Amino acid sequence: MAFLQRVINGGGRINREMAVGTGRTDLLIEFNGDKFVLELKLKRMPSARQKGLDQISRYLDTLGMTKGYLILFEIKPSSIIPWETRVKWEDVTHQNKNITIVEM
């Protein structure tokens, strides 16, 4: 969380595990009048991506937003999946929401 300290230092706000409807989004960042929803998942199961997309879409619906971020963390060590191939960015549309997926 230390890397987000700059948001706070710049007058922003970070909400962790914020209640959104019947769930809790991992991070809701407010900065310069904008809101950013982030859902974080460990890639333990192949279904983590789909579950994360469904989850963040529900949160975005509840908040009346159309853009969010899904961050997927690979649990396999870098000796198995090197950093050069592990980090990926992808913009997708899911349930009429624009979601940026970051895998690392």
pLDDT per residue, tens digit, the chain (104 aa), is 666 777 777 788 887 776 666 566 688 888 889 999 999 998 888 899 999 999 999 999 989 999 999 999 988 877 787 878 889 999 999 999 999 999 98
Helical segments of the chain, H only: 5-9, 48-63, 83-86
Query: Structural domains in the chain?
Result: 12-84 (3.40.1350.10)
What pTM did the predictor assign? 0.82
In whole angstroms, give the CA distance from residue 69 to residue 53.
9
